[in-house]
Amino acid sequence: MNEGSPAQWLAAAQKIDARIEKLRPEADRHVVGQHVISQVLLKRFAAPFGSDGFKLVPFNLDHPDRLHKMASPRQCGKVPHFARFASASLEQLWGKLETRIPDAARAVDRGDVFQHEQHVQTLKDLIALHLVRSLNYRKVHERIFTKVYTEQRTALLTDQSDLLRLAVLQRSGLHLPGPQGLAAAADEILSPHLANFENGADFRARIEDTFAKAKEMISDAGLEILVPAAGEFLLGDTPALAIQQSETRTAFNVAIGDSTSIVLPFGPRHLLVGRTPPLRAGHRHRGDGRLPQPTSDRGGGAARLLPAPQRPGRLRPRLPKAGHPECQELSLPAASPSSRAWPGEGYRDGRRKPAGCHGCGGRFLVTAEVLRS
């Protein structure tokens, strides 16, 4: 997610700093293994495996030939030290939402979810959660901070150097001795922000703030739920994707405000789609069953469950029974931008056996990175 321009980032610095100071007494209250994919969502993709409970098979796209072992939803979708500062209270914030998901999920399975506005809002909030609580967001945060920090330090040493010299003179009565003194003064000014970045405090405060903003933005979007015309949906380690589609191209991981839709697999049979901007009441897409049609004139427009577009040649891979003929046909795409782009699609091509056919009938959790503790 794009967190805004450098100017917007700096404009929010005072608010972020205040939040960091409020969190500082609980800085060491920490949860080591933090889920970036909600366990309740993972369980919707898991299959029962005897007395061992529900199981998934994490599949690593970077190592497709590795032996892929079964794991419980509790073991999957975790990142050690995802947030390194006051993470206990952050987990409590996520938990307030996640406790609402089971009721919403039952409404989705019954097919009457759009009759319950509170469940619709829960699903929208769930999309926002998985957009923000993600490895992608953390990478964006790190990239933007590094960019802004470098720009500000450069400005203090060039365009704003006279102001910096004057500030030091007024504060200490000393003239800065050459470029080294100027650099030392710039580093001193920026050091609190750098320290908050390095200890994870800046990320902790900003992810909470961004989650609140994402919920607000997605709340105004129309929610649709698609069902597959064939096969089933899979889940990836970045499960929610903001997509911008036009007649000529499709871009992934764009800013919410630039997206045309935000998708989140919600089980093998359902895909949550937040349409941005909201669909107008009564508006219809093409009526061939390939795109949703609104059935409600409430704000944002609700949609009934409709088939998702079929993607020729792509089926959700499933671990077949040992010795099943499908073992000879089933494979997953190698790591590539296209294979990572859509959450969890696999395909059949007869080229390779699946790594580790356990005969368990479990479902795959497709990952581009190892997300197990």
The answer to whether position 347 is within a domain reads yes
The answer to whether position 310 is within a domain reads yes
Q: Report the distance separating Cα 218 and Cα 212, nearest Å.
A: 10
**pTM listed for this prediction:** 0.73
CB 131, CB 242: distance < 8 Å: yes
Q: Which of 200-214, 226-240, 275-289 has the lowest mean pLDDT?
A: 275-289
pLDDT score for 352: 29
Report cis status (omega within 30 of 0) of the bond before 268.
no
**β-bridge mates for residue 34, sequence order:** 79
Q: How far apart are the first and last CA of the chain?
A: 25
| Domain span at 330 | 37-83+220-367
The answer to whether position 155 is within a domain reads no
CA dihedral (136, 142, 145, 151) positive or negative:
negative
Buried b (16+ CB within 10 A) or exposed e, 353-373: ebbebbebebbbbbbbeebbe
Average pLDDT, the chain: 75
pLDDT at 322 over 80: no
Report, as an integer, the average pLDDT of 115-136. Answer: 95
Instruction: Provide CB contacts within 8 A for 206, sequence distance 6+.
Output: 3, 16, 141
The answer to whether position 62 is within a domain reads yes
Domain count, the chain: 1
- Residue 319: band (very low, low, confident or very high) from pLDDT cuts 50, 70, 90: very low
Which position has the higher pLDDT, 152 or 289? 152
The answer to whether position 356 is within a domain reads yes
Q: Which of 122-126, 197-201, 259-263 has the lowest mean pLDDT?
A: 259-263
Q: Report the distance separating Cα 58 and Cα 68, nearest Å.
A: 6
Quote the crossing angle between the two packed helices 201-219 and 87-98, to the nearest 10°: 20
Q: Which of the 8 DSSP states describes residue 143?
A: H
Question: Pairing relation of β-strands 54-60 and 363-367?
Answer: parallel
Report, as an integer, the average pLDDT of 162-185. Answer: 87
CB 19, CB 205: distance < 8 Å: yes
pLDDT score for 271: 94
Report, as an integer, the average pLDDT of 260-276. Answer: 91
The answer to whether position 358 is within a domain reads yes
Helix (H) or strand (E) holding 155: helix 135-157
Report, as an integer, the average pLDDT of 59-79. Answer: 85
pLDDT at 356 over 60: no
pLDDT score for 202: 95
The amino acid that residue 145 corresponds to is: F
The answer to whether position 350 is within a domain reads yes
Report, as an integer, the average pLDDT of 42-49. Answer: 90
Which position has the higher pLDDT, 340 or 50? 50
Which position has the higher pLDDT, 264 or 347? 264
Instruction: Provide CB contacts within 8 A for 247, sequence distance 6+.
Output: none
Q: Which two tokens stand for residue 279?
A: 């669909």
Which residue do the tokens 């994707």 mark?
241
pLDDT at 183 over 70: yes
The answer to whether position 285 is within a domain reads yes
Buried b (16+ CB within 10 A) or exposed e, 248-261: eeeebbbebeebeb
pLDDT at 294 over 50: no
pLDDT at 314 over 70: no
Q: Which of 257, 227, 234 is nearest to 368 (CA)?
A: 234
pLDDT score for 50: 75
pLDDT score for 88: 96
DSSP output for 218-248: HHTSEEEEEEESSS---EESS--EEEEE-SS
Q: Which of 362, 367, 373, 364 is nearest to 52 (CA)?
A: 362
- Residue 57: band (very low, low, confident or very high) from pLDDT cuts 50, 70, 90: confident
The amino acid that residue 17 corresponds to is: D
